[in-house]
Every structure is written in C-alpha cells, then in structure tokens.
Structure 1
Amino acid sequence: MRIVFAGSPAAAVPSLEALARAHEVAAVVTRAASPQGRRRVLTPTPVAARAAELGLPVIEADRLDAAATTAIEALGAELGVIVAYGGLVREPLLSAPAHGWINLHFSLLPNYRGAAPVQRALIDGRGVTGVSVFRLVEALDAGPVVRMREAGIPEGATAGALLEQLAELGAHELVEAVDAIEAGTAVFEEQTGAPSFAPKLTLADGALDLAATAPAVLARWRGVTPEPGAHAVVDGERVKLLALARSGAEPVPPGCAVLAGRAAIVGTGSAPLELREVQPAGRRPMPGADWLRGRGGSADFEVAS
C-alpha cells in the first residue's frame, strides 16, 4: 500500500522500518528539529533521521495545520499510519486517505488512553501491558481496534526499556494490520469496557514520595525513568535518582539516606532501597555511595507530611 507515516520519537522508528520494508512509504511526517543537550544543538527527531537514511521524503510539522494537510493530501496515500507523532489528526486530513488512518498505541485499549500509557502502567504496578492498532477517530484513542497483542512486563523494567520492547512488538502488529487492510480482510472491533487515561507526565510526576512503601516508590521510579526522571529533595536542592533497587539492609526512617557497608540506602515507608546512582544539581552522575561519602555519610531527603 502507499502509506504516509507520522511519528517522531525513537519508539516510532521500528514501525517506520518495518513498513518501509513491506509497503511504499510516500513520505514521513514528523515534528520539526529542536535544540537538544546542554549546547542546544538543533537536532532532527529520531524518525526524521531514520527516514533520511532510508531515502524517504520528510515533512516537518509540529502540528497538522492547513499547509501540512495540503502537503499530505498531495501524496495520494491510500492509508495514514501514526505512531507517537505528537500532534492531532483532524478533518479534513482524517478522511483524506482512502482507508483513513490507523494508530499504534502502547497499551491494551481502552486501558491507558493518552500520551503516557507505558509510564502510567508501571507507576500503577501493572504486570501486563501490550499494544493496540486502531482506526483513528477524533475522540482520544477511542477508535475500533484491528490488532491487539498482550505482553508481560519484565521484572524491574523501566519505562524506557519497556517502551523499546513494545516498539518492536508493535511494529510487527502494525505491518500485520496494514497487510490485512490491503487484502480486504481487516476486522475492526469497537473497544469494550470502561476506559482509563494516561496523561502526559510532568516534572512533578518524577518526585518520589519516600514515605510510601518500597514497592510503590520503585514502581514510580520505573515509570518515570528515563523521562521526566525521578528525583527527591535534599537541603532544598533536587537530586536525580538515576538507579534505584531493592536492598536487604536494616530499615531506616523514610527519607534517611545512610551507608550500609559499601552501598547507599534510603528509607521508605516499608523496606529500604539502594541508591545505586544519583545526580546532584549541577553535577555529573555518580554512585550513590560516593555522593553520601562526600556528604559525611548521610543525607535526609524531604518527605511528604
């Protein structure tokens, strides 16, 4: 099929690669290059970079306005495919391709409709997630589903690692969906059950409540790693908690960080956790134990009252 593909982050790259192998990608729509890193170097999206390597035309657009709509309509695509593009598809563009648009979503719909399904599932402590391919409609992630695949969540997986796994799984399901649409055998079924929602994470979502139980703290840490990043506050300054793990050390009060042998541990509302890697404000990442030694062997994180 002749396809227009819309996507931006690294999680969309496996889908672009799979579709480029199996079908004709007329063009790739992605968000515009943006300043990245400390030096604010203007950098294309991962999808734009891969599209260039594949020799595919790229349309940069932060929103699908009239100009973008005109450019996409001129492609004469039979089907639109969207994976984490970062913008909404509305009429008349929604109906422009003969077969409309399909969307790969990283949850088992109607669970976790919205921008952060992987992160929210981890924060909630779920053990199972999956991917869904559905027909795009104007309502948020509410269209009928053509492909769905369940996936277990590996023990200790962060949002970044889980998203990589689901991106590969989703790429396979997406190609299966496009093949079925092309063959005329695709069956779309309406979503059933009460939906839940997964709004985009903010910096505030990365704040760890060290008065919560250790499993709850770890679940949130996994869900916000690597973005927006987990943190806690010491002496009024935010410390990023880059690597956190279970610990068998003796309990300490919630928020109290001390050395236990060669390890740095921090107390929670139940068992302590190991601070394997931290990044104090304005400094490089370092082992948690080194950070604590530099502070005289202890620190007190702020704990919600």
Structure 2
Amino acid sequence: MRVLFAGTPQVAVVSLDQLVNDGFDVVAVLTREDAPVGRKRVMTPSPVAARAAELGIEIIHANRIDETTQQRIAALETDIAAIVAYGGLVPEKALGIPRLGWINLHFSLLPAWRGAAPVQYSIMAGDDITGAVTFQLEKGLDTGPVFGTLTEAIDPADTAGDLLGRLAVSGSVLLSQTLSGLDTGAVVGVPQQGESSYAHKLTLVDGKIDWSAPALVIRRRINGATPDPGAWTEMDGQRFKIGPVSPATDIDSLSPGQVQITGGKQPRVVVGTGSHGVELALVQPPGKKMMNAADWARGILASGTVDEVKFA
C-alpha cells in the first residue's frame, strides 16, 4: 500500500516507525510547519518531520490542508492516509483523495472524548479505563465508523504523559493491523455507539489548581495537565508550577492552599485542599527549574518564613 502519514508530535513518531518497520510504503508525511521552541524560540521541525528526514521520506509541511496541499497529496496517488495527532482538520474535499480515505488513530474509546485532548480529559474525569481506536475520518468531528479498538487501564498515579506514552505504542500496532486489514478487505468499519463526550484542546487556564476542590479532584487535574499545559498555582502573585501529588490522608487540618512543611533532612511538603492534604513531590518556583519539593522546602525553612507559605 502507498501510504501518506499525517502527524506532528513525538507520540505520532511511534506509529510512523511501526508502519515503516511493518513494510508499508510510506511515500510522504504531512506535518505542521516548523515552530519556535524553547526560551530562545529557535525554529524547530516537528518530531515527525525530523524522523521523516532521517528515514528519507518526503515531507509536506502545512498547518492547514489548503488547495495547494491537496494538490500535492493527490499527486502522490496514495492508497490510504494514516493520521495520528496531526493537529489540524482534514477538509471534506480532501477526504476522498486517497483511494481508501483517511484512517485516524484516536486515543480514547469513541464516542467518548472526541476532540483534541482525549487522554487529558479521561484522567481529569476519573475514568478507570480508556484506550485507542482506529476509525474512518468523515465530515463530523471524530464520528466515523470504527475499525479496531484496544483498552488500557488508568492508574491513579498516571499523568497524561504516562498514559499517552503507553497508548502510542499499543496504538501503533493497532493502526498497522487496521491498514493491513483494509488492504485485504478483512476489516470492516462499525458505527459508533453510546453517549458522546468532547475534549477540547487544553489551555493554560485548564492547568490552574483550585485548592478548595477535594484532594482527589485536584490530583486528577494535576495529572491530566502534566506535562502539557502544566499544573500551576500562585504564590505572592506569581505563577508556581506543581508536579504530580500523592494523597496525604493523615492531614486534614489545613485550609485550602495552606502549605505545611515539616523539618528534618527530608522535609515533607503538604498542601491543604477541600478534603485532606496532598503531598508535593516536584515544584517549580518562578524563574527556576523544576525541583524536588523537599529541596524547595529546605530553602523555605532556612529563610525562617515557613508560617507565611500559602498558595492562592
């Protein structure tokens, strides 16, 4: 099969490698244009573009699939297009360009969590099980018939990065199997069934911690926002990033946002919530790198201002 692969972030690279290793003729990749990265804002190719360059595969850079991009895709004369986290919509006019259409690997159990951030929302909602599906792209948002499904248990400690990493690996195999089945006619799409839900792209606001919420809700919010866009709070009017937390069920006397720091060589840093406390593991004070919460606490203890620490 002549395959066009569409994807942008690192999680999509796993599927690109899987298809190449399984012998598919990936004639080109479609990925988003180079973007500024880091504090120095250096223009950098997407992970998929970088990997395609290493593999010697033709690269089509496009943030949207306009007429010109559609013409380039049509000229490839592909049998099928496989899409994994490309980051842009495929217009209706482009859906019929590949002979067998566009097959999307989506990281949820559709119709649950249609949209751009299914893994993050699944964690924030407290789902016990999620998974991945391959389905046919059509005019509606993630509404097409499903070809294959896999499931994955969500651990309470899972961050979005952890869970997405596992789904990227298992999903890449599912995508390869789906394309093989479509090539032979052994796979048939099944209409989606059940109640739908939507997961819009997360913004910085979605990472803001509400310390008045119960500890379980806060933990899910932090895990779902890690690593992107990142969980954060405020201290003295400045943004303060927070890494994943663990329950501190033995402490329920703190007010929401109040920070308790124990002494000793390994200080314990606990924050009050709307229920019991949560213990911090990693923090990033303003203008600094992410650090161990105990190291940050030792600095607070040394300054003698421990009684004044509270997150807003």
Q: TM over 0.5, yes or no?
A: yes
Instruction: State whether structure 2 residue 292 is matched by structure 1 residue 287.
Output: yes
Gaps of at least 5 residues in structure 1 are none
Match of 2:45 in 1: 44
Q: Residue type of the partner of 1:240?
A: K
User: Residue 13 of structure 2: SS of its match in structure 1?
Assistant: helix
User: Residue 13 of structure 1: SS of its match in structure 2?
Assistant: helix
**More off after superposition, 55-64 vs 104-113:** 55-64
Instruction: State whether structure 2 residue 111 is matched by structure 1 residue 110.
Output: yes
1:297–1:249 Cα change, 3 Å: farther
Gaps of at least 5 residues in structure 2 are none
Check conservation: 1:243, 1:278, Cα contact below 8 A.
no
Check conservation: 1:249, 1:260, Cα contact below 8 A.
no
User: Residue 167 of structure 1: SS of its match in structure 2?
Assistant: helix
When the two structures are superposed, what TM-score results if normalisation uses the length of structure 1? 0.96
Q: Residue type of the partner of 2:75?
A: A
Deviation at 1:67, TM superposition (A): 1.1
| Cα RMSD, aligned residues only | 1.2
CA displacement, residues 157-186 of structure 1 (integer Å, 9 cap, x when unaligned): 100110000001110110110000000111
Check conservation: 1:113, 1:198, Cα contact below 8 A.
yes
CA displacement, residues 61-105 of structure 1 (integer Å, 9 cap, x when unaligned): 111111111111100000011100011111321101110111000
Residues 1-305 of structure 1 mapped to structure 2, 5 A cutoff? 1-22=1-22, 23-251=24-252, 252-261=254-263, 262-295=267-300, 296-298=305-307, 299-302=309-312
Deviation at 1:111, TM superposition (A): 0.2
Check conservation: 2:219, 2:244, Cα contact below 8 A.
no
Percent of residue pairs identical? 45
User: Residue 227 of structure 2: SS of its match in structure 1?
Assistant: coil
**Number of matched residues?**
302
| Counterpart-to-counterpart distance in 1, 2:297 and 2:238 | 15
Q: 4+ residue runs of structure 1 moved beyond 6 angstroms?
A: none
| Counterpart-to-counterpart distance in 2, 1:98 and 1:243 | 45
| Counterpart-to-counterpart distance in 2, 1:139 and 1:243 | 35
